[in-house]
């Protein structure tokens, strides 16, 4: 199976999941007070609609700037992936992604799946949020591993050739002397270095796709809830928080896309889906605002499950694919000063997003 077909299969499966789940959210109603939005001084439908239209434009622009910034500045020497500044900026963005999972998405899932609007049994007798997040992290590991296997499968032949060259080198030594054996060994070393670079590139491509998947899930859910709300007191601060969130989360994703070295077509697809998912969710929420009830049992369950799944995926990706890969890699391990600066950058990213949790 080719890499393109694998990517298409994953994208199609995710799209079908959203198509199946979103109607159940939009048509969810409840006969009790849980499905009814309370009226008050903060509820003004015309003003809320104007704010949401502004939010669509502002979040779209912030998303595009964030994800495109690493891509358009690659020609700037200081921001090249081989430079220290890129490592620091990526560490900051990775901290933003980590805090998004722990401080924004996971608490939302707890609130949804432990809501008093849900039946006591089973929703209040079992920690569904952490269970689903755990399964999501394990599934992400599985997808991570299988996608890398598919990427590497096509290179099996070249690996076998390398093994043959390596095994024949000693024979050449006996028949032709030192010089020829030395040349054969150098060829094997050169082949191994080249192959390791290709494996690292495939790994970066898997990371970019898995990270994009997690971001798209929670972006649609966040946008849907905001678009369906008529609460001015909630929408105003949420617009600023989401712009900040999309800007720096986009920088993290953009850095991964840059390291994946995709062609223009694939880069455009990834940038497009990241940029439009939150505005699409807001527009969908506006369209469904007359039938959507964020307090109804069906909506709480579906949104809670999606948030928990997204949280597990984002937390795994941030810790394993981004932070662990960088901090345990040879570059930061060989430069203590850069490692300390990167730690500070991570803490700043985590702290900034944690402060945003107050309004988001």
Q: Give the chain as a 3 state SS string.
A: CCHHHHHHHHHHHHHHHHHHHHHHHHCCCCCCHHHCCCCCCCECHHHHHHHHHHHHHHHHHHHHHHHHHHHHCCCCHHHCCCCHHHHHHHHHHHHHHHHHHHHHHHHHHHHHHCCCCCCHHHHCCCCHHHHHHHHHHHHHHHHHHHHHHHHHHCCHHHHHHHHHHHHHHHHHHHHHCHHHHHHHHHHHHHHHHHHHHHHHHHHHHHHHHHHHHHHHHHHHHHHHHHHHCCEHHHHHHHHHHHHHHHHHHHHHHHHHHHHHCCCHHHHHHHHHHHHHHHHHHHHHHHHCCCCCCCCCHHHHHHHHHHHHHHHHHHHHHHHHHHHHHHHCCHHHHCCHHHHHHHHHHHHHHHHHHHHHCCCC
Q: Is the pLDDT of residue 330 over 70?
A: yes
| Predicted confidence (pLDDT) per residue in 222-266, tens digit | 888 888 888 787 788 888 888 888 888 888 888 889 888 888 899
What pLDDT was estimated at residue 161? 40
| Predicted confidence (pLDDT) per residue in 91-112, tens digit | 998 998 899 889 988 998 999 9
| Predicted confidence (pLDDT) per residue in 295-324, tens digit | 788 888 988 898 899 899 989 989 998 899
What pLDDT was estimated at residue 106? 92
Q: Is the pLDDT of residue 147 over 90?
A: no
The reported pTM is 0.73
Percent of the chain with pLDDT over 70: 76
> What whole-number distance in Å separates Cα of residue 17 and Cα of residue 81?
35
What pLDDT was estimated at residue 114? 92
Burial class (CB in 10 A: 0-12, 13-18, 19+), 130: middle
What pLDDT was estimated at residue 162? 44
Question: Rounded to 5 degrees, what are φ and ψ at 117?
Answer: -75, -15
Beta bridge partners of 351: none
Give the pLDDT band of residue 272 (cuts 50, 70, 90): very high
Q: Is the pLDDT of residue 168 over 90?
A: no
Beta bridge partners of 231: 43
The more confident residue out of 214 and 5 is 214
């Amino acid at each position: 199976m080719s890499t393109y077909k694998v990517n298409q299969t994953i994208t199609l499966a995710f799209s079908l999941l959203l198509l199946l789940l979103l109607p159940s959210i939009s048509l969810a109603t409840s006969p009790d007070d849980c499905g009814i939005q309370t009226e008050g001084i903060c509820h003004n439908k015309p003003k809320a609609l104007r704010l949401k239209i502004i939010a669509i434009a502002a979040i779209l622009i912030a998303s595009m700037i964030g994800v495109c910034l690493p891509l358009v500045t690659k020609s700037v020497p200081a921001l090249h992936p081989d430079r220290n500044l890129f490592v620091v900026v990526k560490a900051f963005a990775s901290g933003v992604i980590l805090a998004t999972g722990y401080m924004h998405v996971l608490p939302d899932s707890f609130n949804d799946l432990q809501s008093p609007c849900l039946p006591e049994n089973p929703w209040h007798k079992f920690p569904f949020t952490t269970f689903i997040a755990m399964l999501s992290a394990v599934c992400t590991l599985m997808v991570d591993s299988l996608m890398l296997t598919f990427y590497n499968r096509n290179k099996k032949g070249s690996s076998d050739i390398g093994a043959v060259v390596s095994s024949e080198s000693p024979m050449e030594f006996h028949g032709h002397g030192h010089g020829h054996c030395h040349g054969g060994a150098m060829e094997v070393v050169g082949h191994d270095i080249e192959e390791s670079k290709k494996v690292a590139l495939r790994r970066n491509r898997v990371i970019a796709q898995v990270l994009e998947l997690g971001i798209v899930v929670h972006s649609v859910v966040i946008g849907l809830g905001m678009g369906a709300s008529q609460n001015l007191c909630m929408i105003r601060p949420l617009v600023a928080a989401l712009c900040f969130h999309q800007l720096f989360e986009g920088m993290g994703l953009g850095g991964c896309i840059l390291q994946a070295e995709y062609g223009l077509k694939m880069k455009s697809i990834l940038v497009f889906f990241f940029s439009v998912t939150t505005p699409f969710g807001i527009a969908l929420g506006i369209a469904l605002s007359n039938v959507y009830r964020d307090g109804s049992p069906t909506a709480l369950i579906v949104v809670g499950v999606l948030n928990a799944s997204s949280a597990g995926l984002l937390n795994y990706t941030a810790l394993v694919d981004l932070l662990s890969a960088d901090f345990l890699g040879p570059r930061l391990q060989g430069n203590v000063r850069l490692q300390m600066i990167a730690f500070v950058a991570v803490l700043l990213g985590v702290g900034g997003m944690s402060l945003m949790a107050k309004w988001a």
